Structure 1
Amino acid sequence: MPVAAARPIAPTAQERERLKKMAYGHKTEHRMRTRAHIVLHAARGRSNARIARETGLHLDTVRTWRGRFADDGLPGLADRRRTGRPGTFTPVQTAQVKALACRLPAESGVPLARWSAADLAREATARGIAAFVSASTVRRWLTEDALKPWQHRSWIFITDPQFRTKAQRVLDLYARTWQGVPLGEDEYVISADEKTSIQARCRCHPTLAPGQARAMRVNHAYSRGGAVAYLAAYDVHRAKVFGRCEPRTGIDPFMNLVTQVMSTEPYASAKRVFWIVDNGSSHRGKKAADRLTAAYPNAVMVHTPVHASWLNQVEIYFSVVQRKVVTPNDFTDLNEVENRLRAFEDRYNATAQPFQWKFTTSDLDDLLARLDRHTADHPEESSAARAA
């Protein structure tokens, strides 16, 4: 019986380039890589039998994909739609589970804070939505609409009536401007705050260094060696940190930090030194600003808006300290904590560059505009915020 001749393959230059990327791309699926190799071999005029021998594939497999490319081109290499097994659940059941996921558990009388896929599967069964549904099926349904009821994000409304004015002052200082006038060479911007309660946790067994395929091991059990407050002042444009440890936070410890900075050059003889602080009890309100100016006439205190500590750049430095110095917490005593912090300051100041602060007054206006639109669309949330 005569053997059917192999289908001739003549891809265009563009198709050939796409086939090469599919055949040799690092991220190409194996099945698509195999099909592309078949077509490229066929384009060189090789027979199906030879391609099967060289690729280790069955002759029917080579014949199938060669024929599909000859008929449909590159789209022919994709899998065809299959009917598959009939669906077990109706669209109504799927919608009912999604609707349940979009309600708080308390609204359904369930004593949970958040839904998990397993909780939703059990609740759907209990309500008679389905005789049985697995957690993986529920998770697949929720993925279609990007629903993740087991996650949560916190939020807070702006309550400071002078939010924009205060925030703009801070952002202008980061851009080296004050009241519309550029800052001079002898004017500086300091961002200051406190990192409270850094504990000295003495692990009951020594920490083990990482090894091959093994992470650092830190013993879970520890004894408490006390806590210390870490105060830091960060020169925004020079990327220089001044820090100190105190037994606790308060007015006096904060003023000790101020003295540490303002008694050194170039701040002692500067025309003005702007101190950006949040609304913590150590430096809150007009009394704190007057106290600072009385001690150092060239110092100007600038407060961030209420609930807007994220505008204070020293918080970025504190996040670095938390990751690189404090975590994992394994200190024998408070002296080791303080020594580590002082040594890290020296290391940081030797190589630090100013933070690439990108949030500008234009971004601030966009943020406030979005919040205004959200408040207009959800007036009940605005009323709740004012009541709080």
Structure 2
Amino acid sequence: MSPTSADVVILTDKERDVLTRRANAASCPHREVLRARIVLAAADGDANAAIAREVGVCEDTARRWRHRFCLERLEGLEDRPRPGRPRVFTPVEVAEVKALACSRPADHDLPLTRWSTTELRTHAVAGGLVRPVSPSTIGRWLAADAIKPWQHRSWIFPRDPDFAAKAARVLDLYHRRWDGIELRDDEYVISADEKSQLQALKRRHRETPAGPGQSRRVEFEYRRGGTLAYFAAYDVHQARVMGMTAPKTGIVPFTDLVEQVMTREPYASAKRVFWVVDNGSSHAGQASIDRMRQAWPNAVLVHLPVHASWLNQVEIYFSILQRKAITTGDFADLDDLAARILAFENRYNQSAEPFGWKYTRDDLNRHLDRLNNDGTLRNAA
């Protein structure tokens, strides 16, 4: 068919390849697919009316993209820059609202801990910071900004004056060093702690298994069967867990855990066994160090800094235990819960490997330097 348009489309091999890929692309924007199909049909000699019927557009649309391609080739198929609607609010108004969002509501005598877009709108308009504006518009302003004042995270100031020294010696132990000297083969590092208030929850109805189109369902209501504590000692380099349950935490059950570990090999005949612990009441202070040394001369109790349980590797094991063996569990009583915990411990030990601990003394120093440079440590002091 002879074209009825004065715009005769003749494609190069490269242009035909590009347009063919666009026309057949599953993820290409629909407008680009239509434009590519229009130009390809024009290159095959179709008239504008026939192209419009085939592609499903009006004849003027087919004529426009055919003409644009003849004038500008592939670049002519791109969207033209659009000026858009004139701005309703000035940059100063937008900045004022963002500054308000970054302040605390309490600083404006409001009984709030955080802003909502509605409350921002109300306060900003009442204070003359901006003309009447919708909460959704304020939401778009904030979403486009680099600062997200509605987000927050919790953290604790490093308040221990010896934080760096205490943490560094534990990190050295994880890399088998103590006082700058490599540990011998008959020296071991134990990470120990207790996981308290573990509840034996008995679901009021049995769970239902997953099925087509339906996830596994766990009954929300439960009967409380009491709580117990789980004490665990984790050999950092052997990836071995040794644990026991007790009715509650305290010095006595922790002492029992130490005895359970130190009376078995290879720890009983080891030159030294380093016990890394936090500052919980079961093993806090110099008194706990003295008790350990008196009972087991080859044991060395090493305290982490205050609020540094994240450096205690046994906490990683506790999170695995919680996630895999306890959460959503259904336990008849405390004995059932204790049996599950110890069974999981045995199963874990069969295939466990040491954690890939990579945080070193150098990483710690860089972290503390950063806190000091931004004033965090000075403000905390």
Counterparts of 2:357 and 2:36, CA distance in 1: 47
Give the SS at the match of 1:230: strand
**Is the CA contact (8 Å cut-off) linking 2:114 and 2:150 kept in structure 1?**
yes
Give the SS at the match of 2:190: strand
Q: Does 1:137 align with 2:137?
A: yes
Counting matched residue pairs gives 377
Query: Which shows bigger deviation, 98-107 or 87-96?
Result: 87-96
Counterparts of 2:298 and 2:268, CA distance in 1: 8
Question: Cα 1:285–1:128, aligned 2, differ >3 Å: closer, same or farther?
Answer: same
User: Higher Cα Rg: structure 1 or 2?
Assistant: 2
Aligned residues: percent identity?
A: 53
CA apart distance, 1:208: 2.6
Question: Cα 1:179–1:209, aligned 2, differ >3 Å: closer, same or farther?
Answer: same
Aligned to 2:164: 164
CA apart distance, 1:17: 7.3
**For each residue in 1:204-224, what CA deviation from the matched residue of structure 2 results, as whole angstroms up to 9, or x when unmatched?**
232333333333333333222
**For each residue in 1:224-275, what CA deviation from the matched residue of structure 2 results, as whole angstroms up to 9, or x when unmatched?**
2111111111111222212221111111111111122222222222222211
Give the SS at the match of 1:282: helix
Question: Cα 1:182–1:92, aligned 2, differ >3 Å: closer, same or farther?
Answer: same
Give the SS at the match of 1:79: coil
- Amino acid across the alignment from 2:246: E
**Is the CA contact (8 Å cut-off) linking 1:48 and 1:63 kept in structure 2?**
no
**Is the CA contact (8 Å cut-off) linking 1:48 and 1:62 kept in structure 2?**
no
CA apart distance, 1:142: 0.5
CA apart distance, 1:363: 1.0
Counterparts of 1:320 and 1:23, CA distance in 2: 51
Counterparts of 1:178 and 1:336, CA distance in 2: 41
Counterparts of 2:70 and 2:343, CA distance in 1: 70
Q: Does 1:382 align with 2:378?
A: yes
**For each residue in 1:304-328, what CA deviation from the matched residue of structure 2 results, as whole angstroms up to 9, or x when unmatched?**
1122111111111112222222222
CA apart distance, 1:148: 3.1
Aligned to 1:195: 195
| RMSD over aligned Cα atoms | 3.1
CA apart distance, 1:118: 2.8
TM-score normalised according to structure 2 size: 0.86
- Amino acid across the alignment from 2:7: A
Question: Cα 1:223–1:55, aligned 2, differ >3 Å: closer, same or farther?
Answer: same
Q: Does 1:173 align with 2:173?
A: yes
**Is the CA contact (8 Å cut-off) linking 1:48 and 1:59 kept in structure 2?**
no
Aligned to 2:9: 7
**For each residue in 1:9-32, what CA deviation from the matched residue of structure 2 results, as whole angstroms up to 9, or x when unmatched?**
33759x967985x67777654445
CA apart distance, 1:346: 2.0
**For each residue in 1:124-178, what CA deviation from the matched residue of structure 2 results, as whole angstroms up to 9, or x when unmatched?**
3443444543322111100121343332212322222222211111111111222
- Amino acid across the alignment from 1:340: R
Give the SS at the match of 2:209: coil
Counterparts of 1:25 and 1:291, CA distance in 2: 73
CA apart distance, 1:335: 1.8
CA apart distance, 1:107: 0.6
Output aligned runs, 1:331-370, within 5 Å. Answer: 331-370=331-370
Counterparts of 1:184 and 1:212, CA distance in 2: 56
Q: Does 1:46 align with 2:44?
A: yes
CA apart distance, 1:93: 2.1
TM-score normalised according to structure 1 size: 0.85
Counterparts of 1:78 and 1:273, CA distance in 2: 71
Give the SS at the match of 2:374: helix
Question: Cα 1:109–1:180, aligned 2, differ >3 Å: closer, same or farther?
Answer: same
**Is the CA contact (8 Å cut-off) linking 1:204 and 1:223 kept in structure 2?**
yes
CA apart distance, 1:362: 1.6
Question: Cα 1:228–1:12, aligned 2, differ >3 Å: closer, same or farther?
Answer: same
- Amino acid across the alignment from 2:217: R
- Amino acid across the alignment from 1:382: R
Gaps of 5+ in 1: none
Question: Cα 1:138–1:295, aligned 2, differ >3 Å: closer, same or farther?
Answer: same
Aligned to 1:270: 270
Counterparts of 1:69 and 1:189, CA distance in 2: 73
**Is the CA contact (8 Å cut-off) linking 2:96 and 2:130 kept in structure 1?**
no
Aligned to 2:296: 296
Counterparts of 1:202 and 1:122, CA distance in 2: 48
Give the SS at the match of 2:79: coil
Counterparts of 1:27 and 1:301, CA distance in 2: 61
- Amino acid across the alignment from 1:212: P
CA apart distance, 1:53: 6.9
